[in-house]
């Protein structure tokens, strides 16, 4: 049978003394926005900064650039498809096989875009 050890009472933040920081409304709004972008509360964000941690944004800039490139690819493929559907002379040499391949590529690109979008915003549970 286990012996019951006395529970240690660790101090909590809720019962601790707050640090008051005076800011103007614009500064407050900016701090709240930065905290939101990092997926943190304002208090948590300021605590991290005060303790020397550099908070990471929940948006990964490299992934956003990748999404922009994928979006450009989709736009170009969509433009080619539109030309073919309007019987444009520039697409007369494209047969059904080529068009079906373009459609398949569009679907693949959409799937890739969805995967990147899932990775762009990190789940809050990762924090």
* Per-residue pLDDT tens digits for 76-125: 888 877 877 787 777 778 777 887 887 888 888 888 888 777 776 554 44
- pLDDT band for position 60 (cuts 50, 70, 90): low
Please give the model's pTM, rounded to 2 decimal places. 0.42
4 vs 102, residue with greater confidence: 102
What span, in angstroms and rounded, lies between the C-alpha atoms of 27 and 29?
A: 5
Retrieve residue 116's tokens: 């990147």
Using left for φ > 0, alpha for ψ between -120 and 50, and beta otherwise, residue 39 falls in left
Q: Which of 106, 107, 73, 80 is nearest to 94 (CA)?
A: 80
54 vs 32, residue with greater confidence: 32
Domain boundaries, the chain: 20-57, 61-126
């Amino acid at each position: 049978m286990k012996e019951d050890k006395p529970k240690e009472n660790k101090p909590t933040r809720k019962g601790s003394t707050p640090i008051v920081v005076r800011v103007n409304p614009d500064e407050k709004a900016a701090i709240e926005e930065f905290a939101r972008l990092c997926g943190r509360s304002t208090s948590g964000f300021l605590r991290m900064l005060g303790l020397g941690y550099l908070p990471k944004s929940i948006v990964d800039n490299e992934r956003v650039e990748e999404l922009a490139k994928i979006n450009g690819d989709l736009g170009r493929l969509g433009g080619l498809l539109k030309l073919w559907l309007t019987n444009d002379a520039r697409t007369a040499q494209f047969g059904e096989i080529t068009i079906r391949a373009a459609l398949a590529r569009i679907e693949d690109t959409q799937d890739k875009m969805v995967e990147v979008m899932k990775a762009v915003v990190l789940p809050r549970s990762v924090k």
